[in-house]
Amino acid sequence: MIEEKIMNTIRSLITGLPGDFQSDEGLHSLTSVVAERKGFFSRRKLTFTARFRVNEEMREVVYNETLVEKKSGLGAGTGEGISGFGFRKWKIASGPGGLEGVLEEQSEMFRRRYGFTFRFQQIRDAVRTLVEKEGYTFKHQIWGKL
C-alpha cells in the first residue's frame, strides 16, 4: 500500500526524532518535537506534524505539514514584546501548486529563536517524488481539512 511507503519515507528522513504515525479514518499523521527550550520556570516546544490522506478513487495524495510552538510556565501567555502583542509579516506566493511560503517563513523565524535547521522541504519533496513515481497525484494543502 502507498500509505506504508509514505510513512517509511518520512520515518527515514526524521531519524533521531521521537514520534510515530497515528491513523484515524484514513488520515495518517506523525507528530514529533523538533526543538525545545527550557528556561527559568518556562518551557517551549516546537512540534512538526506531517499529515496525509490517500484518495484511491482519484489516485491522489493530499499532504500537509505544520510547525507549532507551544509554551508553558511563567510568561506562557505573553508575546515576545513588552506589551505581549506582536506582528509578523508573512510572504506567501500563490501559484498552480497552491500557496507556498507559510512553513518556510515559520521555519526561518523558529530557526533564529531555537538555533536549529529542520528539513521540512526535503520531507515534502521525498513524499512528492514517491507519490508521483507510484502514479498518484500529489496535492500540498496548507490549510483546511484533509
pLDDT in tens, the chain (146 residues): 888 888 888 888 877 777 778 889 889 998 888 878 787 777 888 888 889 999 999 999 999 888 887 878 775 555 554 334 444 444 444 444 444 555 666 666 666 666 666 677 888 899 999 999 999 999 988 777 76
3-state class (DSSP) for residue 25: coil
Beta strands in 7-142 (DSSP E): 21-24, 27-39, 42-55, 60-73, 93-95, 98-100, 137-140
For residue 9, the model assigns a pLDDT of: 87
3-state class (DSSP) for residue 134: coil
3-state class (DSSP) for residue 11: helix
For residue 135, the model assigns a pLDDT of: 94
Nearest to 29 by CA among 43, 10, 12: 10
Nearest to 35 by CA among 18, 51, 58: 18
For residue 105, the model assigns a pLDDT of: 64
Distance (Å) of CA 16 to CA 29, 58, 61, 99, 143: 18, 35, 26, 30, 28
d(CA 138, CA 52): 10
For residue 43, the Cα-to-chain-centroid distance in whole angstroms is: 20
For residue 85, the model assigns a pLDDT of: 41
Cell 517509511 appears where? Answer: 8
Q: 90 and 100 in contact (C-beta within 8 Å)?
A: no
pTM greater than the 0.85 cutoff: no
d(CA 139, CA 131): 10
Taking the alpha carbons at both ends of the chain, their separation in whole angstroms is: 19
For residue 17, the model assigns a pLDDT of: 72
For residue 71, the model assigns a pLDDT of: 79
